[in-house]
């Protein structure tokens, strides 16, 4: 099924299914069911079956899903069977934490370049990386054919920086800045703003 015909909310649940399957694998499980997945994730078994049916038939009635097979198919659908190179822009407190996070590679992503516009940070070593001047970002990202970026800059800079990333050929941006950015239809943006999630949670505490 073409990616554009699958609702984004369905795509957003696929990584949750893959994470649960990966956890089951570490537990030594080989077979699961939509019921078991649903109990782990708080999603109805009917919803899980409906989501997966958007992409094909992966299980058998009465026998459930073979975990290695379903996990492999989800990695294929999500295009994480190979490793994506990622550029990180903004190396403040949040950017440093992201740069040090070790959980990207085994889930399909590898940070390969760090950029900042603060002269005090340029040239600094973060692990195996040297922070580069964001003035060189467009040519550097383009020459390395990096198509995924993480944006950890102040909200006031997010639109300008994202425009430069798009100029460099980036087609997917994970934005940590607490703002919305305007991008062409050919570029996909996901937002991570902890305050939004906190506000959503505290609604239920009344």
E strand or H helix at 132, and its extent?
strand 132-133
Task: Give which of 57, 47, 59, 58 is closest to 13, Cα–Cα.
Answer: 47
Q: Is 122 helix (H, G, I), strand (E, B) or coil?
A: coil
pLDDT for 158 beyond 80: yes
The stretch 176-195 carries a mean pLDDT of 94
CATH architecture of 84-196: 3-Layer(aba) Sandwich (3.40)
User: Global pTM?
Assistant: 0.84
Task: Give which of 105, 15, 22 is closest to 68, Cα–Cα.
Answer: 22
Dmax over Cα atoms in the chain, in whole Å? Answer: 62
pLDDT for 61 beyond 80: no
Check if CATH label 1.10.10.10 holds for domain 3-77.
Answer: yes
Q: What is the mean pLDDT of the chain?
A: 93
pLDDT for 65 beyond 90: yes
| Burial zone of 139 (CB within 10 Å; 0-12 exposed, 13-18 middle, 19+ buried) | exposed
Dist CA 185 CA 193 (whole Å): 22
Dist CA 1 CA 3 (whole Å): 6
pLDDT at 105: 87
* pLDDT tens by residue, 18-48: 999 999 999 999 999 999 999 999 999 999 9
**So where are the chain's domains?**
3-77, 84-196
Same fold, 3-77 and 84-196: no
pLDDT at 155: 95
């Amino acid at each position: 099924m073409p990616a554009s015909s699958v609702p984004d909310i369905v795509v957003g649940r696929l990584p949750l299914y893959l994470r649960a399957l990966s956890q089951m694998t570490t537990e030594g499980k080989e077979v699961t069911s939509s019921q078991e997945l649903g109990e782990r994730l708080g999603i109805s078994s009917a919803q899980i079956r409906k989501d997966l049916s958007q992409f094909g038939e992966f299980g058998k009635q009465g026998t459930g899903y073979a975990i290695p097979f379903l996990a492999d198919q989800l990695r294929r659908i999500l295009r994480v069977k190979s490793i994506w190179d990622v550029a990180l822009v903004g190396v403040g407190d949040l950017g440093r934490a992201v740069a040090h996070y070790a959980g990207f590679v085994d889930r399909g992503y590898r940070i390969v370049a760090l950029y900042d516009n603060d002269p005090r940070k340029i040239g600094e070593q973060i692990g195996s990386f040297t922070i580069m001047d964001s003035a060189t970002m467009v040519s550097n990202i383009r020459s390395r054919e990096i198509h995924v970026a993480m944006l950890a800059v102040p909200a006031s800079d997010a639109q300008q920086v994202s425009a430069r990333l798009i100029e460099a050929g980036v087609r997917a941006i994970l934005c940590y800045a607490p703002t919305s950015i305007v991008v062409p239809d050919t570029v996909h943006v996901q937002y991570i703003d902890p305050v939004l999630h906190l506000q959503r949670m505290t609604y239920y505490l009344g």
